Chains A and B, each alone.
Chain A
């Protein structure tokens, strides 16, 4: 954990208060509270269907909560009414999906430059230079002209990370980004995320990679049944959880 000494002094970037959301009769979020400080990496862990991905989708406004407050920086996300407001929010938040969701008709380079050039109005030269820098950062310099269909899952996911970073986001949401990958390519993606965290990028990760979460996170949040059961430092959650449900989940993973 690179920033431990300043950990408590940094301002809050993301704040969720009593967030409720249901799909039909299925209550997915039942009053979620969450605090993420600037520069923190927060991992959300918990069993499948506990609402982890839904939390991320609420933060960038892909889903609107029925009740509660979501604030990113100074933006009250829960109160955004127009598409224009949500677009302004999403310019500041990167999102990386489990299934990569690259644009299959565009080359790797075009996948990365399309948003900066068309949405932010960055000139083509600058956008392309930055894209190549990002590709170097995710170790895919030689794949700029390839198409997503020609890449492995791990490579596609690293392109997806580069695509998100090209917008210079102040926050990146990672939604189970290694769950769809072959075991041998998981490492290369995690290595990229590890560097981002070390560089001080604010990250919220939904993950099943417990070892990785323990290693890179400033804080771990354990969710179950649409609620935050417990949150704390990786040390507490993984080695001395207070809540018996957390304890049960961690133990089940160990065995």
Chain B
């Protein structure tokens, strides 16, 4: 404890040690908005008019990210399970799936899924629309599933082999060991990287604007083009950055907390 205090004092004697840097950043952010509000009161009023439009855009980002992580998780756990199989003909394709989607640029995948799927699906005589935002979601979900498969495989392999030996000695089969002994111990190892991935996906949802999905970035572009004033444009993008920060930062923070908590067990 003593050394910790010393280094703190050595590093930054001018910082009051009980104030966390996060709080300082938040204060700075609020202050920046306060100053902006004074200087560009007019633009801020304009911005407020656009809030419903931007909120609708943000809704799309949240919807896409939640769906993408959902699909990605289900698919990723499946692929991860296949990757863990001992049969070569099962784990090799799974491994290739992971490699292909982990090494593909996200934007290219989103373009790809947008153009490879039809705009509507015909089931019997019913035509179901297949909107672009769902295609973009799939584009995000595919690499997410590859990452989740890797996270799962890594977690399973990080459980010490004596756990397998002990289970085998108690007459557990391989799949029983995986289900009852290994996977329950993996949950806490998987949770932090999974949340990290979710934050990354959320931020990547803005890429969907490039294939014409009306999400937050696209809404901001609309607003900026309509108003057509430099100070307003800056303000709108600053607002978007603030919104994403407000949504993703707590997730990152919670992830760090969980990582610390679990590292002791």
Contacts and interface: CB of A to CB of B under 8 A. Distances in A.
A43 B145 CA distance: 52
Contacts of B170: 90, 114-115, 119, 163-164, 167
Interface in A66-116: 83-84, 86-88, 90-91, 93-95, 97, 99, 101-105, 114-115
B31 interface: no
B165 A115 contact: no
A119 B168 CA distance: 11
A115 B166 CA distance: 11
Contacts of A60: 169
B185 A104 contact: yes
Interface in B152-180: 162-163, 165-166, 168-174, 176, 180
A101 B163 contact: yes
Given A87-B171, A149-B265, A118 B176 contact: yes
A62 interface: yes
Say what secondary structure dominates the interface of chain B. helix
A101 B162 contact: yes
Contacts of B265: 104, 149
A84 B174 CA distance: 11
Interface size class of A (residues with CB under 8 A): 20 to 34
A118 B180 contact: yes
Contacts of B173: 83-84, 87
A62 B169 contact: yes
A93 B185 CA distance: 26
Contacts of B67: none
Counting chain A CB atoms within 10 Å of each CB, the highest count among B171, B173, B184 belongs to: B171
Contact of B166 (A83, A84, A87, A97): A97
A90 B169 CA distance: 6
Contact of A97 (B165, B172, B176, B184): B165
Contacts of B184: 105
Interface in B25-48: none
Given A83-B173, A87-B173, A114-B180, A103 B166 contact: yes
Contact of A103 (B163, B168, B169, B176): B163
A136 to B, nearest CB: 21
A67 B142 CA distance: 48
Nearest to B264: A149
B177 to A, nearest CB: 10
A167 B170 CA distance: 8
B181 interface: yes
Contacts of B163: 101, 103
A3 to B, nearest CB: 26
Contacts of A87: 171-173
Interface string B247-265: 0000000000000000001
Nearest to A56: B169
A72 B10 CA distance: 68
Interface of A: 60, 62, 83-84, 86-88, 90-91, 93-95, 97, 99, 101-105, 114-115, 118-119, 149, 163-164, 167
16 contacts: A60-B169, A83-B174, A87-B172, A87-B173, A88-B171, A94-B169, A95-B169, A101-B163, A101-B165, A103-B185, A105-B184, A114-B170, A149-B265, A164-B169, A164-B170, A167-B170
Given A90-B168, A115-B171, A118-B180, 20 more contacts: A60-B169, A62-B169, A83-B173, A83-B174, A84-B173, A87-B172, A91-B171, A94-B169, A97-B169, A101-B162, A101-B165, A102-B166, A103-B166, A103-B181, A104-B185, A104-B265, A114-B180, A118-B172, A163-B170, A164-B169
Sorted nearest first, the 8 A-B pairs with minimum C-beta distance are A95-B169, A101-B166, A115-B170, A90-B171, A101-B162, A91-B171, A87-B171, A119-B171
